[in-house]
Structure 1
């Protein structure tokens, strides 16, 4: 089954370029394109969608508001925010509203395709440059006393790597554990912290332990 993708951007040149790029991968199908968040909310009612590539700044309904609405109605849909360096203030809000990925608009075609597949498979994905700026914006405190949450060093390390957007396989390679063990540990961390998913875990870590 193909990954069904919706493109949401008020710049038709961008949606055309994205459509062209995604058409090069046989496992991805661009179902529809929209010029603003309101159109996206209406379109998804009649078009089953797996992944949405969402611009932030759009008329009528911006990407942050659209993300919040869509996630409340269709929580299984995965949204990737397409951002630029001058939109930092929106990134955190979109993450809080349920976005599962953040990419810079100048991302290479192969990384864009890989990102769609990664998010579709349940990972969160934050471009390294975006993650660095987000971490700085939230003023993460490295001296946070994580032991008050009952977390060990391995669990803290896994949280950090999730906040960086790494997949389970990539994390497993970093912490020298099997992918299955990493998956189990993530479930344990979520239970300990009473968090819903990887996105909440990333926010929790980036805020230095504050919900």
Structure 2
């Protein structure tokens, strides 16, 4: 069964280029290409779409608002297509249900892997995007406190706080395991506990919470 994808971008070169890229892989079926967020929302409401690739800056409705509506109204998983000019939208898109942020200049294999990861229930936030997000938050807030000081630390164990800090640094479970000298299974159990305590749904949201102290 192929992964059903739509592409939303107001730039026809990006739109058609992405379609050609995905057509070169047997795993994908590009159902449609659309010009803006409203068209993407309408299409996902009327059709079974697995993953919606959404540009951030589009006329009529941007990719962030489209992400919110698609996540609320359909089973489609939104995946944002971004450039570094779109930094200001990262946090809102993730809050609204984006399953990942994908840089437009990635090579075809990375694009393919990101879509498959999102389809299989994982979240994609490239290290370079996470670093950009962290630096942007620090610069914007001009805060003196350390990262993690904004969260309610009393509800977490010390080990959970350690894991949250490393997730916020962009580390995968394997890297955290080496850093803390505990098994990946134990880390997964701690992450499940953190998600339960916060009401969050995935590790990217844990990173955002640790960085900002915001749960919604």
Please say whether Structure 1 and Structure 2 have the same fold, judged by a TM-score greater than 0.5. yes
Which aligned pairs between 1:101-120 and structure 2 lie closer than 5 A?
Answer: 101-120=100-119
Aligned residues: 205
Task: Using structure 1 for the length normalisation, give the TM-score.
Answer: 0.85
SS of 1:185's equivalent in the other structure is helix
Q: In the alignment, what sits opposite 1:156?
A: 161
CA-based RMSD of the aligned residues comes to 2.3
Structure 1: runs of 5+ lacking an equivalent: none
Which aligned pairs between 1:1-211 and structure 2 lie closer than 5 A?
Answer: 1-74=1-74, 76-139=75-138, 141-142=146-147, 144=149, 147-153=153-159, 155-163=160-168, 170-172=172-174, 174-176=176-178, 180-207=185-212, 209-211=213-215
Contact 1:149 1:193 in 2 (8 A): no
Query: How much does 1:157 deviate?
Result: 4.4
Contact 2:77 2:118 in 1 (8 A): yes
Structure 2: runs of 5+ lacking an equivalent: none
SS of 2:90's equivalent in the other structure is helix
CA deviations 1:108-127 (Å, max 9, x no partner) are: 11111111111112222112
